[in-house]
Amino acid sequence: MRKSYFNGSFYTDNCNELTNFFSNNKSLIKNENIRAIVVPHAGYFYSGNVAKEVYKLTNGEKYKKVVVVGPSHHIYFKDASIVLEENYETPCGNLEIDINYSYELIKKLDFLSYIKQAHKEHSTEVQMPFIKHYFNNTKVIEIVYGDIAYQKIVLLINEILKDKDNLLVISTDLSHFYNLKEANELDSNCIKAFKNLDIENLQNCEACGKLGLKALIKVAKEHNLSSKLIDYKTSANASNDKTRVVGYMSGIVC
């Protein structure tokens, strides 16, 4: 079991409360062509609505596997770790981890291994209650990256997107602890880079998952995919504190 570590802090551990949150304003229009999504990973009070806007666009019945890729915030390690447990705990029940697919990726990509302590990680865990709600019978894969060249993440994303039954989830927040005006300016570079699939704009982008975002942009451009921004907000939208804000975006790649 990949235990939950951040339920009760980043998100509620009450299933009924989660269900009510996810079901609010549920989209009736599903996009059948989404290959990847970009989502934030702060506490749901701050970024949950930004993430929900993109999750509710996906057709959960279409995908057999959801692969969540996020940066490590808590420990230092080289390359990337893929979870090799059998189930993933969420407040509304367990998700099945596709352990066979995880082993396949390890065989193909020599920078992947299983580092157990790397998976006490919120950037990936906060996505799992969303997946449980919107993709109830879909298997999941959790990948956390540390000190790694973005070209390796490009290889990983290329491998994941070879299978059209996969949905790729890239987890990242944007700028941290600037005032609102400064945050909007910095985050606009991240958003332009994503919307235009232009890596050059990332030079002035501050994002904790910047490597994953950069790799997704490169792969999307190489494969003639398109991108669309779905939502952008900052923590000020929730807290009203405009002096030290964190930026959040969500988007799709089709």
Which contacts (CB < 8 Å, 24+ apart) does range 183-192 have? 183/234, 183/245, 183/246, 183/247, 184/234, 184/247, 186/247, 187/232, 187/234, 187/247, 187/249, 190/247, 190/249, 191/229, 191/232, 191/249
Q: Where are the domains of the chain?
A: 30-253
Superfamily grouping for domain 30-253? LigB-like (3.40.830.10)
- Tokens representing 172 are 């990242």
Q: What is the pLDDT of residue 253?
A: 98
Give tens-digit pLDDT for 172-222: 999 999 999 999 999 999 999 999 999 999 999 999 999 999 999 999 999
Angle, helices 150-161/99-108, rounded to nearest 10 degrees: 130
Is the CB of residue 45 less than 8 Å from the CB of residue 241?
no
The pTM score is 0.97
Give tens-digit pLDDT for 50-89: 999 999 999 888 999 999 999 999 999 999 999 999 999 9
Residues 97-122 have a mean pLDDT of 98
Amino acid identity, residue 27? S
Q: What is the pLDDT of residue 28?
A: 58
- Tokens representing 217 are 């942009």
pLDDT(26) > 60? no
Give tens-digit pLDDT for 146-182: 999 999 999 999 999 999 999 999 999 999 999 999 9
Query: Closest Cα partner for 207 from 229, 227, 178?
Result: 178
